[in-house]
Amino acid sequence: MQTLPLAVTANVARIRARTQSMIMAVVKADGYGHGAVTVARAAVAAGAGWLGTTSVAEASALRAAGLAVPILTWLHPSGIDADAAAAAGADVAVGSVAELDALLAQAASTVRVHLHVDTGMSRGGCPRGQWDELIALAWRGQQARRVRVVGVMGHLPRADQADPAANAPAVVGMQEAWQAVRAAGLRSPLAHLAATSGTLTDRATHFGMVRVGAGLVGIDPSGTVEMHGASRLTAPIVHTTAVPAGTPVGYAGAHVTDRATHLSVLPVGYADGIPRELSPQAGVEVRGRRFPVVGRVSMDQIVIDTGAQSFPVGTSATLFGPDGEATPTIGDWARWAATIPHTIVTGIGPRVKRSIA
């Protein structure tokens, strides 16, 4: 069994073994559901030199918790607030000429910016045809001391493929953007492109820094490196009954028992992030054995079939954890729900009590 900070530490070590570049610990979405401050502290202690979040508000929370390393923010739904960014000591990614224009118009002091270029995803970032205009405007803004260009960022569209060939066009685009920025006289900006998968599988994507989120909490989107699971979800059995064969279970009687058996209820449901659509393989661990989830997932409850075993109320069940064997992993839940592990960890609802072991 591994505690959360130790797992993050071990995962940073795995990442460090694969890259010489600086490491940005991405702790958006509350550290992928694990607690942004906890994950950030552990990652920085283990050697991550940067932090990344989507919003300036998340950066402020990290500053309030005493984290002092540079923080990059890259999503500003109501425009970049230069004052808020300055107050948080946060760098901002600028993904279009219009965004940079608006920032320059309001920047009272020098804002640290990263030019965000689209490297093939069409999901934010400056389109290629406008790189020159963005860079020229950034140069003028830097001359006027409104901004300082500290980075150039792209993003890999093939974030789950352990395939350098799939990354190659983005790598070339990133090199071109970085060279264009330097050719314009903006010196030594930090180039960064890779997230977890690129970091673990393709050195050509590393540039000056890698941005790792999923990997910190034990998820390898490429499926090639064993990372350390950082969380455990448990629930106590709140109800146990013996039922005969032919008993319908849950809404719509979607499952009917095929033999006399025992059913136990766990007080977690889709409001807590248990996916409602699950394959019949879905199960949980109780006292070292795996038992299937049966019937529909309700908003607040699921039912497990424990066969001949009758577990008393209060017995703890583990939905997922890092132990392996009978205990499902987050990856198992992702498979059972036909999704990716990220949606499992970020979907855990606010009612679930978090504690740091």
**Annotated binding-site ranges for substrate:** 123, 299
Place of tokens 């072991």: 357
15 versus 274: smaller Cβ distance to ligand PLP: 15
73 versus 142: smaller Cβ distance to ligand PLP: 73
**Contacting residues for 273 by C-beta, under 8 A, at least 6 apart:** 344, 347, 348, 349, 352
Q: Is 353 a catalytic residue?
A: no
Binding of residue 40 to ligand PLP (CB under 6 A) = no
Question: For the window 145-174, what string marks contact with ligand PLP as x by the rule CB under 6 A?
Answer: ----------x---x---------------
Min dist. Cβ of residue 329 to ligand PLP (A):
17
CA–CA dist 124, 136 (Å, integer): 19
29 versus 271: smaller Cβ distance to ligand PLP: 29
Active-site residue identified among 32, 251, 270, 353: 251
CA–CA dist 150, 114 (Å, integer): 6
Helix (H) or strand (E) holding 99: helix 97-106
Strand partners, 147: 111
Helix (H) or strand (E) holding 147: strand 147-153
Applying CB under 6 A, the site for ligand PLP has a residue count of 13
Provide the Cα torsion 132, 135, 136, 142; round to 10°: 180
**Contacting residues for 66 by C-beta, under 8 A, at least 6 apart:** none
Binding of residue 212 to ligand PLP (CB under 6 A) = yes
Binding of residue 213 to ligand PLP (CB under 6 A) = yes
Strand partners, 213: none
Min dist. Cβ of residue 217 to ligand PLP (A):
9
264 three-state secondary structure:
strand
CB atoms within 10 A of CB 132: 12
2 versus 54: smaller Cβ distance to ligand PLP: 54
Binds ligand PLP (CB under 6 A): choice among 74, 207, 270, 291 = 74
Binding of residue 22 to ligand PLP (CB under 6 A) = no
Q: Is 251 a catalytic residue?
A: yes
Min dist. Cβ of residue 144 to ligand PLP (A):
28
Question: For the window 167-206, what string marks contact with ligand PLP as x by the rule CB under 6 A?
Answer: ----------------------------xx----------
Task: Just list the catalytic residues.
Answer: 28, 251
